[in-house]
Amino acid sequence: MTTPPQPAICLQYGLGTRAAYEAAQKSSQASFYAPIAVAITGVGLVGGELINQILALSAPSPFRIVSLSSSKHTLFSPQGLSLTPTSWKADLLEAEPMSPDVLQRKLIDLVSPNGKVVFVDNTSSEAVAARYPSLLEAGVNVITPNKKAFSGDAGLYDRIVAASKKSGAKFLNESTVGAGLPIISTLKDLVATGDKVHKIEGVFSGTMSYIFNNFSNGQEGGPSFSSVVRVAREKGYTEPHPADDLSGSDVARKLAILTRTIPSLQSTIPLPQGFKSVPTTTLIPEALSSLTSPESADEFTNRLVEFDSESDKLREDALKDGAVLRYVGVIDVKEGIVKADLQRYPKDHAFATSLGGSDNIISFHTERYGARPLIVQGAGAGAAVTAMGVLSDLLKLV
């Protein structure tokens, strides 16, 4: 019996993981490398873009897409679906429903010593997130931009970590913070190499960044708050319900995720209830605070116009002090503080001058990056960059 190639055999090519995979595919041992089975749940903005990015990878693809699921339909084929960028939507619409339990069992059946399986969750659903521990425990890797599982109660998060440790299946969530920007991987690398994090701070929301870069740009007047929220939503920056952005919850979730990514940070700043433990400033007018159901997203967005005069006053007051408004997040490890807040910055501050579009900017102040922080900046929302972060996580499994 021939022994399947071990990772060291790939390394001897002196190539990156994808190149090593391709080399092994071409070698006589290719049969041991079944393309990774990818199950995609959630085919909205990010999910749809991810499918197209996977289909655009050059051959031989390290992946075969075995399932596509919306909330109503599922396509499944253990050998890999035959998909094209122009036809998959119609194919999915014609597919029969499949219960998530049945899909989960089918995916678990595909796990084998030479066959990796990965569940990609592109929804913002808590119910889908609640499946991660059982998937991981059965050896199915989980990759997701969905923040729910990592930023809620400690219980689910602890079960995810325990299940992953037990089976060795990985969970990767780069796109949950800063979309495709290397934020989680940077933090992990800093800590894994022995650096000590003192403070992480910055603009963590693409939506809030877009809103305030345009609404509060240091000039007199400007567009109304409600109009810039509407455009942010049209551009695909907001959560499915924009209230999740304007409440500050999305930023609080990202702060919880970063804090939990590093066990030593968790011990300094415990967040037992996840993002709900993070002191957070909401921008939602009291009168709209009940419009939180998925069906009320349009009404919520439409009614923001009723409160534009209050936002105008905030902008004017800041401008009188020579300042702009920016929504920021801070994890101050030394002080034991974590918070999400709307703050004023002088018009010549980097947050006022260097941000555009949906840019995130995140500074890591560490022992090694002491005098000058390590800064990551770039688009922090939008389908293309978010799907890219998910795909880069997928490539880490190859």
Ligand X SMILES: NC(=O)C1=CN([C@@H]2O[C@H](COP(=O)(O)OP(=O)(O)OC[C@H]3O[C@@H](n4cnc5c(N)ncnc54)[C@H](OP(=O)(O)O)[C@@H]3O)[C@@H](O)[C@H]2O)C=CC1
Ligand Y SMILES: N[C@@H](CC=O)C(=O)O
Catalytic residue positions, numbered: 254
Give which of ligand X, ligand Y, Na ion, none residue 61 binds (C-beta under 5 to 8 Å, depending on kind). none
**Does the annotation place 168 within a ligand binding site?**
no
Interaction of residue 206 with ligand Y, rule CB under 6 A = yes
Interaction of residue 201 with ligand Y, rule CB under 6 A = no
Helix or strand (DSSP H, E) at 329: strand 323-332
Interaction of residue 122 with ligand Y, rule CB under 6 A = no
Q: Which is nearer to ligand X, 41 or 261 (CB)?
A: 41
Q: Which is nearer to ligand X, 33 or 119 (CB)?
A: 119
Burial 243-255 (b: 16+ CB within 10 A, else e): bbbbbbbbbbbbb
Distance between CA atoms of residues 384 and 236, nearest Å: 10
Interaction of residue 379 with ligand Y, rule CB under 6 A = no
State whether the Cα torsion 168-161-333-148 is positive or negative. Answer: positive
Task: Report the nearest approach of Na ion to the CB of residue 302 (Å).
Answer: 31
Give which of Na ion, ligand Y, ligand X, none residue 71 binds (C-beta under 5 to 8 Å, depending on kind). ligand X
| CA distances to 45, 204, 289, 359 from 376, in Å | 24, 11, 33, 10
Task: Report the nearest approach of Na ion to the CB of residue 143 (Å).
Answer: 12
Distance between CA atoms of residues 78 and 149, nearest Å: 27
Contact in structure between 344 and 9 (CB atoms under 8 Å): no
Q: Which is nearer to ligand Y, 107 or 304 (CB)?
A: 304
**Does the annotation place 357 within a ligand binding site?**
no
Residue 377 corresponds to which tokens in the numbers above? 């900046």
Give which of ligand Y, Na ion, ligand X, none residue 181 binds (C-beta under 5 to 8 Å, depending on kind). Na ion
How many CB atoms are closer than 10 A to CB 224? 18
Contacting positions for ligand Y (CB under 6 A): 179, 205-207, 237-239, 245, 250, 380-381
Contacting positions for Na ion (CB under 5 A): 174, 178, 181, 183, 389
Q: What residues are designated binding site for NADP(+)? A: 42-47
